[in-house]
Amino acid sequence: MTIFVSIASYRDSELVPTVLDMLAKARRPERLRIGVCWQHGDDEDISPLRDLPRIDVLDVNWRDAQGTCWARAECMKMYDGEDHFLQFDSHHRFAPAWDDQIVHQLRSAPAAKPVLSAYLPVYEIDEAPDVNAEPLVLTALDIGDDTIPRVCPMPIPGWRDRDRPVRARFVSGHFLFAAGTFVTEVPYDPELYFHGEEITLSVRAFTWGWDLFHPVRTFMWHNYGGFYRRKHWDDHQPGAEVFKSWGARDKLSRMTARNLLLRNPVGPLRCGTARTVADYEAYAGISFRDRTVSDEARLGTEPARSPVPA
């Protein structure tokens, strides 16, 4: 059993610690193959990773980087038929035997095509992560004018009494685990920038027949602040030596997301044919057109079972 690990990294000094911790904590590191989209400055270095086995690095100068979803799409191109696909960011920490734990959670999900995803508990730089951190469910606070839901994590109610993952309404870009066929069925749209990534991925996965789940155990942690590093939008300002500013990319991205959520185009990089967007809205308890959110979606109540794919 093999796992392809996708890591998009933009000028991130945590990339090397993340990869080394991932390998050190894995029960079977030999089953991991890693693809990194390394977007960096001239003075940045990842020498400790260069001699590791089973790692491919796409070397990209920061000026040529095109945003989060573009980088994730580039990572997906490195997939080579592995049994499973795992995506996370370049600022993570891991629990011992984390790889066994995610495989167990995925296999225990009551669905033919499960996707395991979550906003992970936080870790802070140079601090040990909280081993007692609670696993999280994604709730919807509201839906903005751009049709993109504003989500918020909260502890999964009664998670200690559960041993199987719970159904989810939304996926996370910083932790996603599924069968390898996810790469071919739900490839990343490189035209998306940042806003709209997770909701369009949720809808696309669902309409292609994938069922969404949150794990009920904590086996990874994520750094949310990122104050220690530069972001793509810090560098790609109007007037900078770049092809297109981050604002222009973000405007196009929001238009692309809005079109998908309201017009529901079908095809590659768009919605699937196994279920409809209306099916997703009924399942998630939201309406993109009316911009409404149900009480269940706000409270994080577990959704009812997904409709059977057509």
pLDDT along the chain (310 residues), means of 10: 98 98 98 98 95 96 98 98 98 98 98 98 96 98 96 96 97 98 98 96 98 98 94 95 95 96 97 98 98 97 88
**Burial environment of residue 42 by CB neighbours within 10 A (0 to 12, 13 to 18, 19 or more):** exposed
Q: What CA–CA distance (Å, rounded) separates 227 from 274?
A: 41
Question: Which of the 8 DSSP states describes residue 52?
Answer: -
Is 86:103 a contact under the CB 8 Å cutoff? no
Is 108:217 a contact under the CB 8 Å cutoff? no
Structure tokens at 84: 């499973």
Is 76:188 a contact under the CB 8 Å cutoff? yes
Amino acid, single-letter form, for residue 138:
L
- Residue 197, φ and ψ in degrees, nearest 5: -60, -55
- pLDDT at site 310: 74
Question: Which of the 8 DSSP states describes residue 282?
Answer: H
**Burial environment of residue 190 by CB neighbours within 10 A (0 to 12, 13 to 18, 19 or more):** middle
- pLDDT at site 61: 97
Amino acid, single-letter form, for residue 162:
R
Structure tokens at 202: 């949720």
Residue with tokens 């191109």: 77
- pLDDT at site 274: 97
- Which pTM was predicted? 0.97
**Burial environment of residue 227 by CB neighbours within 10 A (0 to 12, 13 to 18, 19 or more):** exposed
For 154-165, b where at least 16 C-beta lie within 10 A, e where not — what string? Answer: eebeebeeeeeb
